[in-house]
Amino acid sequence: MRVTGWRDKREFVEFPYRLYRHDSFWVPPLRIQQRRMFDTHRHPFYREAEMERFLAVRQGRTVGRIAAILDHRYIRHRQEQAGWFGFLETVDDVETAAALVSAASDWLVRRGIRLMRGPMNPSTNYECAMLVEGFDSPPYVMMPYNPPYYPRLMEGLGLRKAKDLYAYHTTATEINVAQAERVAEYASARGVRVRPVRLKEIKAEIERFFQVYNSAWNNNWGFVPMSRAEMEYLAEEIKPVLDPNLALLAEVGEKVAGCALALPDINQALRHARGRLFPLGLFKILYHRRRIRRMRVVILGVLEEFRAAGVAAALYAALFRHGLRAGYREGEFSWILEDNVMMNRSLEALGARRYKTYRIYEWKG
């Protein structure tokens, strides 16, 4: 059934909290953030995108949900007639999964789209892909999680792999800081300078991130440029957990050459709030936030003209220095495309190990 009134909208948000209530690895997102994500009137993503949401109901009880998404910015940028499915949650039942996937694909076909990929929640600039390996630990901040039966359901319905995304893990004792520092010295000798963002110039700094992000990732599979409004919106979303020393810009002379962003793994605190800020959730988050010892490298990109200058290593070295000084003992690098050979090899050389795999599936009508 199509989501229409406020009861359906509430049910779409609430269903995962029931589905995962006995799953110790799932981290309940804040409900207020979920509602913002689905606000098609206010969230800047929907200025150039459409979304239709569906619920699967059996005997009066919700057993699944899905969204069909048409990102016009992607179609225009990649010159590919493709649409997405996203925000998929379902019980372990092939008929339910089939009904959900059919609802999304039918909605896209009616709009002339016969290639569907997902999960995209709602694009590669946000949470995306389905966990297919590495179900033995909770996700880091802004990474998805799902039960082990999800890939089986997708493949049983005939969806095929479009692309795999990797997540790497390391610890303070495993990471090869010396290796990164050696390359960083090489970069420094060639004029590369890495600095934290200047909070007093935050609008200008966001603009610098924006320019690097949309340029450095432009040729990556599945990439769609983020609008300026989206970048500003996301900056507001992460501001409460941002450590300025982990938001870095690399410069060569007067030019911005690259950027990096790592976030404290706020999931370690969020899991205690059970999706609510009030009446006690906020206090629990603030209390447990002091104990966070994990961080995730969310963004690290270098403009093409500077990729031979050791900029990436300089950014990594600065993240390692600041992270260790701040007391972080574990870290995740995610996500990296399976065919990004240079980045995958670089992380392995730095002592990181691949420990989770996420998959974007594809359906062709």
d(CA 358, CA 135) in angstroms, rounded, equals 11
Dump pLDDT digits (tens) for 83-128: 999 999 999 999 999 999 999 999 999 999 999 999 999 999 999 9
DSSP lists the bridge partners of residue 83 as 116
Angle between helices 177-189 and 311-325 (to 10 degrees): 130
Cis peptide before 240 (omega within 30 of 0): no
Dump pLDDT digits (tens) for 309-343: 999 999 999 999 999 999 999 999 999 999 999 89
Q: Which residues contact 218 (CB under 8 A, 6 or more apart)?
A: 225
Dump pLDDT digits (tens) for 21-41: 999 999 999 999 999 999 999
The domain spans of the chain are: 6-167, 170-356
* Structure confidence at residue 285 (pLDDT): 87
For domain 170-356, say whether CATH 3.40.630.30 is its number. yes
With H, G, I as helix, E, B as strand and everything else as coil, classify residue 46: helix
Q: Which CATH superfamily is domain 6-167 in?
A: Gcn5-related N-acetyltransferase (GNAT) (3.40.630.30)
Task: Using a pLDDT cut of 70, give the percent of the chain over it.
Answer: 100
Chain position carrying tokens 């800047």: 44
Domains 6-167 and 170-356 share a fold: yes
279 pLDDT more than 80: no
357 pLDDT more than 90: yes
Task: Using a pLDDT cut of 90, give the percent of the chain over it.
Answer: 87
278 pLDDT more than 90: no
* Structure confidence at residue 87 (pLDDT): 98
258 pLDDT more than 90: yes
* Structure confidence at residue 168 (pLDDT): 98
Q: Band the pLDDT of 282: cuts 50, 70, 90.
A: confident
183 pLDDT more than 90: no
